[in-house]
Amino acid sequence: MSGLSGLNKTPNGVVVGMVQLQLPVVDTPAQLAAQKERIVSMVGKARRSYPGMDLVVFPEYSLHGLSMSTADELMVSLDGPEVAAFREACIEHRIWGCFSIMEKNPQGKPYNTGLVIDDQGVIKLYYRKFHPWVPVEPWEPGNMGIPVIEGPKGLKLGLIICHDGMFPEMARECAYKGAELMIRTAGYTAPIRHAWQITNQANAFQNLMATASVCLCGSDGTFDSMGEAMVCSFDGTVVAQGGGRPDEIVCAEIRPDLIREARVHWGVENNIYQLYHRGYVAVKGGAQDCPYTFMQDMVDGSFELPWEAQVEHTDGQSCGFEAPTRAYQGNETNLLDTPAQASLFNGSNGIKEAA
């Protein structure tokens, strides 16, 4: 399915490029501005090096680095200069792009946000990270759902961020909404390498869905990010994989037509269908119930692990953050702060579904 890393593009193929971007140091507004330009230049590199590329994907923290700073002068708004530059780059190079920002939040801590922008500069997907990597990350948990959009050439795609991918429910939700490709952007460091690989493969296989995942790469003098871009086919096999070389762009061709065929024609291991049709050989249509206690308990607000009272880390104090006092509010009624921000979407699928 890789098409020799996208060099041999087929009529049904969508070429995706994963940028193992050099881990930056961003402590000042000037460094933020310089990193914005660095990302813009890499969009140009992606287009020049792979003329057939349809979508270029940048890692989580590619704009901000791994400082975990929540300083207001470093946080980004949708209608700010950083997102405007990304939109212009997509227009100039006629390419879709996936970008990472730490987004200002007037109601609390910033959001860890991912954006997919089309080749006309329209924000098509807007996602706030569901599962910040606790206790390390200070970001507000996402409150907009997990949108799935129609991407380049009709490919249905979803986006999750880093730690999100350790929860099989996240990949299942993307696939349940129709995603044929799930993007996973990350800033992970080397200790997570094994878990990264097996979850990227499992998320693909369990949902008959391609996954394309990428981390930052290199060192900022404190942290060492691992790169490790991966594209997995719907059967869980790795079709393209990078290593630890900063700024390498790892490409593969995604074949949505083959994914659609598998979802329709597979009998054995069509697991996302069989989840709600278990045992259909024995009983007509299969058992269509919810036999999982944890699902029922989450819905009625009684989820509790058998070892819940013994869990030691329940806030971020071990990583230097004050214990929070504000409770989660759920879906916000005003997701976009200004009319200028709302106008960026121009009727895009992601925000319309979430709102």
Q: Which residues of 115-126 are buried (b: 16+ CB within 10 A; e: fewer)?
A: bbbbbebbbbbb
CB neighbours of 344 closer than 8 A, spacing ≥ 6?
A: 78, 79, 83, 87, 122, 123
* pLDDT recorded at residue 329: 83
Active site residues: 60, 129, 162
Indicate the helix (H) or strand (E) that contains 212.
strand 210-215
- Classified by CATH at the fold level, domain 3-275+325-354 comes out as Nitrilase/N-carbamoyl-D-aminoacid amidohydrolase (3.60.110)
* pLDDT recorded at residue 213: 98
Q: How many residues does the chain have?
A: 355
Q: Which pLDDT tens digits describe the chain residue by residue (355 residues)?
A: 567 877 889 999 999 999 999 999 999 999 999 999 999 999 999 999 999 999 999 999 999 999 999 999 999 999 999 999 999 999 999 999 999 999 999 999 999 999 999 999 999 999 999 999 999 999 999 999 999 999 999 999 999 999 999 999 999 999 999 999 999 999 999 999 999 999 999 999 999 999 999 999 999 999 999 999 999 999 999 999 999 999 999 999 999 999 999 999 999 999 999 999 999 999 999 999 999 999 999 999 999 999 999 999 999 999 999 999 999 987 654 455 555 566 666 545 444 333 3
* pLDDT recorded at residue 354: 34
Tally the C-alpha atoms within 13 A of residue 59's C-alpha that lie toward its C-beta.
Answer: 33
* pLDDT recorded at residue 7: 83
pTM: 0.94
